[in-house]
């Protein structure tokens, strides 16, 4: 091309040496490695010309780890390709879509906004929420619920111990929570599930994972691909600015002590006041069949969205970047192409439907502009005010080569766990209940509106209104006229995955399933966010392979479909990495929400049962973390046995409350059930089958529940679990905690003071 548009420059690479290519990549923030840039060089030599800055910027977005999954895709296919049955999975695009009932479906997706939140916690978390809402909207779903699993360093870490350029965990946590609160509440979507975990390994790089569930009539389901030649490409929503430029490149490298100064511009600016009408306008246009295909503008901006949209349909495109509505003057063509400004959607609209679609968006006061057309393959032709700015084979840009990086699998420790002593039982109990990972999250949960839209049938806090406790899952009622419910939960276990990545990943899936069974739901699907370190380290990629293998195996045995997910690599920096941290957003189907189960104890005199086999292993447990014990064997997992237990629990009669045994073992499980109901318990820990009281309190064996059953139903409940491990643990009392061993009372202590310390223990926000 002899004449490029004004403002477009060419980059001389065709004759450049390998060191020169590396310098160009570094100076322009492109992120290409030597083999990738050599491949690009060969492409343009064949074309007989130098690339434009627009072309290289677009290639950098699509070839980034964040957009391409070039290091992880082969593992994902192996682990999850068989877990998308067409009878249940209706879509695997920007969000997974699952069949819900006759004529209706739900969408789910979870992803990360880790790097932006480390630099600017409020904006990073807020735009993470904005992005996940768009993913669900991009398949035709109305967002009905949000989730937020979060991981920070210890809140009490002294400033003097922070690495250079790293913000304090308390500052990060307060900013992230405020960003989630303000965006979710203002856009009118309830936050119903999540978690907050603390560990020194997240000091440099906190993890901010956000999930969304949407609901839709199946007739509204939209594909993430262009429909036919000549269709208009309509950019709708927020205006385009310089915020978010280079966001995917920033997310595809480790943090440094210069990330604050060098990458703040890569953090997008959210606008929930624009997002809310954008959602309504899109849904109305979808319902009227005016939109044939859709993509949200997230990582990589217009470059990624348009390329993926037309290539998925087998087309090319012609786009005039000068037609993109701008928030500020002076943006160069390449900046417009890759800006990640928020609240934008790209819509495929037939020419005959264009005026009707524009009328809808005008009525909602949402900008919408036709910026191009779907054209014959294989090229995307970009212009700037009518003059050429880029001409690339779209397949070359959006399908980078898959990398086969080396893997090295860690040696898994098989060291047995110690038998914990029987003395100082009250102190052991209190240590587990009052640990930072155990204390009440109510002060944070109350910041989020978890009942807006009126669909939340069981909210994330269970028990007394004035003093509730933690639940295992929330339950939504998507259709007012039907009692069928959708349970939503999150799960993660990075500490178990550190000790044994494959079995630790199975533990995570088991935790998600237990959370669902505990409220009366049958597991249906999960979306995963896989947070790992630098994939150029064979040990990291070895962990990744083991974790995905474990997730896939457990999902199959527990009946989970996996219609999609997200990969977040390069977490860490300054010589520190994160543990392998797979996070699940899991959903389950509730036949009748009127029979939903909550975790709070209901009535003195009721019977407490322990379902599942206890095991003494403490690897990855809260006790092990509190006592700095690494290298212990983790508890065995048995997804098939758990499925049998869970199915019988869902069908059993007389169940008044249920809570899964997880972080903190029986101590935390019993305490949370008692705190939520304002009652107490009298339990005989010898019936766990373990060898000591201390071990019985702290062990977190991966497949157990504590269940409260009304006294008249005790025998029938036991019969319903014939052939499966089911032990009568004790009874619900009016107050206090009695702990026995072989019917001999060992200790009795008051729960009220512990309850108050548990409620006040988090220290957030503030």
pLDDT digits (tens, 9 = 90+) for 644-659: 999 999 999 999 999 9
Average pLDDT over residues 665-685: 98
Q: What is the C-alpha R_g of the chain?
A: 27
* Residue 265's pLDDT band (cuts 50, 70, 90): low
73-124 pLDDT per residue, tens = 999 999 999 999 999 999 999 999 999 999 999 999 999 999 999 999 999 9
The residue among 688, 739, 735, 731 whose CA lies nearest residue 710 is 731
565-611 pLDDT per residue, tens = 999 999 998 888 999 999 999 999 999 999 999 999 999 999 999 99
**At residue 255, does pLDDT exceed 80?**
no
Q: How far apart are CA 22 and CA 25, in angstroms?
A: 5
Q: What percent of the chain has pLDDT over 90?
A: 93
| 1-15, 50-64, 243-257, 644-658: least confident range | 243-257
- The residue count for the chain: 766
Q: Where in the chain is the domain with CATH 3.90.650.10?
A: 86-398, 599-761
Coil, strand or helix at 123: helix
pLDDT at 318: 98
pLDDT at 701: 87
**At residue 254, does pLDDT exceed 60?**
yes
3-state helix, strand, coil in the chain (%, to 5): 35, 25, 40
pLDDT at 263: 47
| 737-741 and 680-684 beta bridge pairing | parallel
Q: Is 470 a catalytic residue?
A: no
Residues 674 and 433 sit within 8 Å (Cβ to Cβ): no
pLDDT at 257: 59
Q: Is 66 a catalytic residue?
A: yes
Mean pLDDT score of the chain, rounded to an integer? 95
Residue recorded with tokens 């729960």: 751
Q: How far apart are CA 25 and CA 4, in angstroms?
A: 22
Q: How far apart are CA 378 and CA 381, in angstroms?
A: 10
CA 518, distance to chain mean position in Å, is 21
Residues 95 and 564 sit within 8 Å (Cβ to Cβ): yes
pLDDT at 414: 82
Q: Cα dist. 38→13, 22, 67, 334, 492 in Å?
A: 9, 10, 20, 22, 40
| 253-267, 456-470, 530-544, 682-696: least confident range | 253-267
146-204 pLDDT per residue, tens = 999 999 999 999 999 999 989 999 999 999 999 999 999 999 999 999 999 999 999 99
Coil, strand or helix at 703: coil
Task: Write down the pTM of the prediction.
Answer: 0.96
Average pLDDT over residues 312-320: 98
* Residue 253's pLDDT band (cuts 50, 70, 90): low
Question: What superfamily in CATH does domain 599-761 come from?
Answer: PurM-like C-terminal domain (3.90.650.10)
**At residue 246, does pLDDT exceed 80?**
no
Dig out the tokens for 453 from the structure. 């839209």
**At residue 619, does pLDDT exceed 60?**
yes
Q: What percent of the chain has pLDDT over 70?
A: 97
Dig out the tokens for 452 from the structure. 């807006």
* Residue 2's pLDDT band (cuts 50, 70, 90): low
**At residue 261, does pLDDT exceed 90?**
no
**At residue 238, does pLDDT exceed 70?**
yes
Which one of the listed residues 113, 232, 462, 659 is annotated catalytic?
A: 113
Average pLDDT over residues 129-135: 96
Average pLDDT over residues 227-246: 92
**99, containing H or E segment:** strand 96-101
Sheet holding 581-590, edge to edge: 456-458, 474-476, 485-492, 581-590, 522-531, 565-568
Question: Does the N-terminal peptide bond of residue 764 adopt cis geometry, omega within 30 degrees of 0?
Answer: no
Coil, strand or helix at 586: strand
Dig out the tokens for 729 from the structure. 């643990």
Residues 675 and 753 sit within 8 Å (Cβ to Cβ): no
Coil, strand or helix at 481: coil
Q: Which fold has domain 86-398?
A: Phosphoribosyl-aminoimidazole Synthetase; Chain A, domain 2 (3.90.650)
Coil, strand or helix at 210: strand
| 170-184, 308-322, 402-416, 707-721: least confident range | 402-416
Angle at 39 between CA 34 and CA 42, to 5 degrees: 125
């Amino acid at each position: 091309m002899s004449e490029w548009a004004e403002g477009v420059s060419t980059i001389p690479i065709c004759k450049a040496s390998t060191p020169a290519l590396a310098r160009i990549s570094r100076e322009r923030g492109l992120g290409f490695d030597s083999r990738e840039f050599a491949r690009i060089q060969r492409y343009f030599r064949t074309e007989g010309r130098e690339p434009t800055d627009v072309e290289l910027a677009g290639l950098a977005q699509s070839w980034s780890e964040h957009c391409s999954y070039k290091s992880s895709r082969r593992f994902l296919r192996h682990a999850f390709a068989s877990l998308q049955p067409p009878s249940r999975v209706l879509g695997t695009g920007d969000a997974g879509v699952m069949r819900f009932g006759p004529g209706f479906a739900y969408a789910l997706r979870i992803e990360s906004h880790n790097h932006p939140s480390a630099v600017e916690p409020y904006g990073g978390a807020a735009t993470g929420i904005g992005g996940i809402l768009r993913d669900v909207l991009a398949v035709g779903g109305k967002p009905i619920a949000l989730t937020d699993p979060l991981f920070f360093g210890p809140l009490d870490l002294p400033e003097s111990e922070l690495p250079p350029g790293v913000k304090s965990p308390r500052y990060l946590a307060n900013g992230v929570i405020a960003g989630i609160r303000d965006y979710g509440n203002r856009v009118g979507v309830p936050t119903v599930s999540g978690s907050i975990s603390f560990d020194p390994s997240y000091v440099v790089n906190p993890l901010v994972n956000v999930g969304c569930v949407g609901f839709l009539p199946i007739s509204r389901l939209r594909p993430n691909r262009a429909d036919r030649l000549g269709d208009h490409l309509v950019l709708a929503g927020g205006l385009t600015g310089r915020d978010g430029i280079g966001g995917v490149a920033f997310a595809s490298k480790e943090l440094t002590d210069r990330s604050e100064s060098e990458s703040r511009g890569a953090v997008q600016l959210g606008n929930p006041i624009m997002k809310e009408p954008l959602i309504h306008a899109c849904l109305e246009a979808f319902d009227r069949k005016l939109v044939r295909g859709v993509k949200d503008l997230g990582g990589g901006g217009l470059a990624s969205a348009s390329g993926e949209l037309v290539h998925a349909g087998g087309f090319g495109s012609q786009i005039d970047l000068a037609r993109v509505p701008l928030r500020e003057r002076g943006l160069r063509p390449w900046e417009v192409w890759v800006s990640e400004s928020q609240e934008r959607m790209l819509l495929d609209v037939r020419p005959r439907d264009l005026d009707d679609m524009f009328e809808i968006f005008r009525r909602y006061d949402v900008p919408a502009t036709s910026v191009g057309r779907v054209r014959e393959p294989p090229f995307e032709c970009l212009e700037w005010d009518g003059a050429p700015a880029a001409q690339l084979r779209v397949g070359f840009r959006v399908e980078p080569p898959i990398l086969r990086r080396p893997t090295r699998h860690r040696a898994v420790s098989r060291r047995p766990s110690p038998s914990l002593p029987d003395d100082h039982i009250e102190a052991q109990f209190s240590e587990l209940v009052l640990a930072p990972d155990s204390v009440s999250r109510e002060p944070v949960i109350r910041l989020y509106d978890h009942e807006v839209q009126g669909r939340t049938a069981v909210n994330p806090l269970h028990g007394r209104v004035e003093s509730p406790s933690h639940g295992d899952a929330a339950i939504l009622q998507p259709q007012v006229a039907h009692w069928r419910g959708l349970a939503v939960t999150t799960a993660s276990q990075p500490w178990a995955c550190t000790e044994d990545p494959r079995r630790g990943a199975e533990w995570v899936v088991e935790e998600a399933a237990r959370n669902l069974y505990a409220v009366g739901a049958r597991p249906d699907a999960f979306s995963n966010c896989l947070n790992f370190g630098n994939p150029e380290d064979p040990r990291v990629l070895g962990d990744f392979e083991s974790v995905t293998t474990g997730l896939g195996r457990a999902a199959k045995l527990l009946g989970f479909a996996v219609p999609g997910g997200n990969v977040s690599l390069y977490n860490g920096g300054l010589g520190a990495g994160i543990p392998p941290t797979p996070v699940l957003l899991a959903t389950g189907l509730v036949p009748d929400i009127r029979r939903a189960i909550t975790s709070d104890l209901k009535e003195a005199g009721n019977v407490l049962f322990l379902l599942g086999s206890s095991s003494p292993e403490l690897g990855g447990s809260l006790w092990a973390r509190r006592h700095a014990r690494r290298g212990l064997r983790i508890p065995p997992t048995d997804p098939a046995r758990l499925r049998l237990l869970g199915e019988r629990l869902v069908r059993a009669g007389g169940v008044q409350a249920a809570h899964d045994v997880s972080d903190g073992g029986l101590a935390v499980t019993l305490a949370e059930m008692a705190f939520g109901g304002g009652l107490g318990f009298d339990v005989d820990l010898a019936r766990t089958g373990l060898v000591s009281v201390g071990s019985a309190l702290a062990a977190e064996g991966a497949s157990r529940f504590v269940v409260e059953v009304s006294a008249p139903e005790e025998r029938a409940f036991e019969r319903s679990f014939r052939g499966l491990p089911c032990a009568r643990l004790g009874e619900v009392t009016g107050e206090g905690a009695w702990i026995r061993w072989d019917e001999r009372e060992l200790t009795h202590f008051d729960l009220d003071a512990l309850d108050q310390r548990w409620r006040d223990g988090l220290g957030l926000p503030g």
